[in-house]
Copies of this chain bind each other. A is one copy, B any other.
Amino acid sequence: MRLWQNPASPFARKVRIVFRESGLLPRTEEINVAVSPVSPNADLARHNPLVKIPALQTDDGTVLYDSSVICEYLDSLNPGAHMLPAGAARWDALRLQSLCDGILDAAVLCRYELAVRPEPYRWNDWVQGQFTKIRSGLDALATEVPSWGSSFGIGQIGAACVLGYLDFRFGDEKWRERAALATWYDSVRQRASVVATTPA
């Protein structure tokens, strides 16, 4: 398999953690690409018309995206414990993944606004609106985290990517004031899959 990714992308990180947690890493090549909405990448565009990462080429040549589709596909290849449960627990796992993806969407939009868009075109109401989503999302994670126990499924992988991305790009955001979330993250950040994918 071939995975188009970038170490700074939190959505690619979800997939890279699943590769490592599921023991599938030896079966893929990770291809670094730099891409943004205003500077597309011609090689990636040939494989994913949305010109977004992550994108995964499977062994039969099919290209899959986005991160949630890739993660589910990888989980289906995993002979071990599944990161995406079946039955009633599936809906809660998918909903938690969507919550984390939504927080990341908001954070990435803020990053584009504050680091890519030229300063005269930045709109403070937009940034504040996205931060409102980030913070209400974090509040929801803090409420849920006591129920997670030692699970590290697709929802928790998403949460680790959220918190890692905030540390990476928004170091001033005091998300650790949510003590239960900070305690949880202190434990999962020791996992080999999380350590190996921490953005520099």
Interface residues of A (CB under 8 A from B): 36-40, 45, 49-52, 58, 62-66, 68-69, 72-73, 91-92, 94-95, 98-99, 101-103, 106, 112, 117-118, 120-123, 125-126, 128-130, 132-133, 136-137, 139-140
B98, A66: Cβ atoms closer than 8 Å: yes
Contact of A133 among B50, B91, B99 (CB under 8 A): B50
Dominant SS among interface residues on chain A: helix
B123, A98: Cβ atoms closer than 8 Å: no
Q: A49-B136, A49-B137, A102-B52 are in contact. Are A94 and B122 (CB under 8 A)?
A: no
State in angstroms the CA–CA spacing of A159 and B69 once bound together: 17
Give the residue among A39, A122, A132 with the most B Cβ atoms within 10 A. A132
Contact of A62 among B50, B51, B58, B92 (CB under 8 A): B92
Closest 9 pairs (CB-CB, A-B): A50-B102, A37-B129, A49-B140, A121-B123, A49-B136, A38-B129, A69-B94, A66-B98, A38-B125
Inter-chain pairs besides A38-B129, A117-B126, 11 sampled, C-beta below 8 Å: A39-B129, A50-B99, A50-B102, A62-B92, A64-B91, A66-B102, A68-B68, A69-B94, A69-B95, A69-B98, A121-B123
